[in-house]
Each structure stands twice: as structure tokens, then as C-alpha cells.
Amino acid sequence: MIGAIAGDVIGSVHEHRGTKSTAFPLFEHRSRFTDDTVLTIATAHAILTGTPYDTAYRTFGRAYPDAGYGGSFHRWLMSDEPRPYNSFGNGSAMRVSPVGFAFDGIDAVLQEAARSAAVTHDHREGIKGAQAVALAVFMARTGSSRADIRDELVRRFRYDLHRTIDDIRSHYSWSVSCQGSVPHAIVAFLDSTSVESAIRLAVSLGGDADTQAAIAGGIAEAFYGEVPEAIVAGVRERLPADFIAILEAFTRAFPASAAPARPLRRPEADGGTHDNAGDA
């Protein structure tokens, strides 16, 4: 799940910039983890330990209260009697990638993704967004092609995934809803040639950059099988020790990919490494 965390950290400085290019430094001095990482780590912890999702989200969210949560989630987090709040925000999708790595079989992945979402995001679009991302991660790590992933998500969730990032970028605007951000992040993966490429393409939409890059990065890690060491190092140095411990335990328990290496396509889509480097 380091791909999702990398997307969050890299995208963090672009969240309100409206970046419409793939040519940017991967890391800046202000690059940091946000709520996407906190809750992704919480999802992994819940899976590893059997802790209920709502308990894990509240434990980690309260331990890192300034990570940038959306208003509705923050109220849920601090409530004495938290209840789902019928959200269709993309927070359900940004935190779900560990489900796609940890569970086997489409039905199990979809059921667990819904469980992780429903403690807060019990609107059908909130659940749908989480299920789409988790299913994409699962299919990617088990050897499905881009075309098969696209076709399955279109069939199940009716997302429009037949556009390219170049088709979308010029008229895309900020959205923190699942329906307004998740399909576009998935397209960033579908257009990519590497984990780095997927993250850069997601950021280049100019929208909810950290969340969309987290979604694209998580799927891309599952598909390509690894994250470049330079990106891993840049992320790890920005994470607290407890996050690294959970990340390492999860990676040991659930390796990123069982899929064979795939030939790359469209190399011009990758912006390359630059050395000068949503609503929850």
C-alpha cells in the first residue's frame, strides 16, 4: 500500500494548486502525509489485527487530529456516539487500497470494501467508490490487464473509463465526491506506464490531488508490482515510526503483487523524475 501513501504525500502540495501538468518535483519541503495516509494505515491496522474499522479510524484519526480531515468526518471522529453520515465523499475510496491487497476473490473484496466504507460513507456512491478502487487493486495484483480492469469496473459500477487523462484534464474541476473524482483517478492508472506515471497523471488533473494520486498510486503499485526505491525513501522519511511498523507488517503479510511483469506502453505519458524535487 506504499503506492497509495506515495500518491498522498506527493499530491499533498498540489491539492489547492490546480496543477495541470505532469512536470513537477516529486517531493518538496512541504510534502507531507495527510488524512489519506492516516486512514489507509488505519485500514491496514484493522485488517492485520481484526479491529473494527470504525474503532481503527477513530483511534488513528484522534492520534493525528490535524491531518486535514473533511468537516463531516471530523465531526464523526470527535463524536461520543458516531454514526454513518450518508456521505458520498471520496474518503471511502482513498483509504481502501489495503482491502484489495489483503482479500482474495471478487465477492470477498467487494464485501470488505463496503464494510470499510459503511462506518462513515453509507451512501451508495460512497460504498461504490470504495468497492471500485478495492476491486481495481485486487484485479491488478492478480494479473488482470488494463482492458479487463476497465471493462469490469465499467460493467459493475457504470463509471466512464473510456476517456484519457488528456481528454479529461482541460475541463476537469475540483470534486471531493466519489462520482466526481474516483473514475478520473482510475483513468490516471489506466493511462499510466509506471507507479510514478500514475501519480503524476492523477495530480495533473488539477483536482483533489492527494486523494486522486493515492487512489491511482495504490492501483498502480498492485499492477506494476513495486514502487521505485527513490519514491519509497522519500515517503518513509516523512512517516512516523508507528506508520512504518504497520506498513512493514502489512507488506510482509500481503505482498504487493502476484502478477508477472508487463510490458510498458505509451512511454511518453510518464513525466519522469525531477531531481529538484478530500473530504474524508
pLDDT band at residue 265 under the 50/70/90 scheme: very low
Tell me: the pLDDT tens digits for 30-45?
999 999 999 999 999 9
| Type of residue found at 58 | R
Chain segment 178-210, per-residue pLDDT in tens: 999 999 999 999 999 999 999 999 999 999 999
The 10 Å Cβ neighbour count of residue 54 is 18
Could you give the CA distance from residue 118 to residue 113 in angstroms, rounded to a whole number? 9
Q: Are 175 and 181 in contact (CB under 8 A)?
A: yes
Has residue 262 got a pLDDT over 80?
A: no
Q: 208-225 pLDDT, tens per residue? A: 999 999 999 999 999 999
| Domains in the chain: boundaries | 2-21+30-77+87-256
227-255 confidence digits (pLDDT tens): 999 999 999 999 999 999 999 999 999 98
The predicted-structure confidence for 82-141, as pLDDT tens digits, reads as follows 999 999 999 999 999 999 999 999 999 999 999 999 999 999 999 999 999 999 999 999
Q: How far apart are CA 36 and CA 100, in angstroms?
A: 16
Better pLDDT: 272 or 183:
183
- Tell the burial category of 237 from Cβ atoms under 10 Å away from its Cβ (0-12, 13-18, 19+): exposed
| Whole-number pLDDT of residue 255 | 80
pLDDT exceeds cutoff 70 at 54: yes
Class of domain 2-21+30-77+87-256: mainly alpha
Whether residue 272 has pLDDT greater than 80: no
Is the Cβ–Cβ distance between 71 and 280 less than 8 Å? no
Instruction: Lowest mean pLDDT of 120-129, 141-150, 267-276, name the range.
Output: 267-276
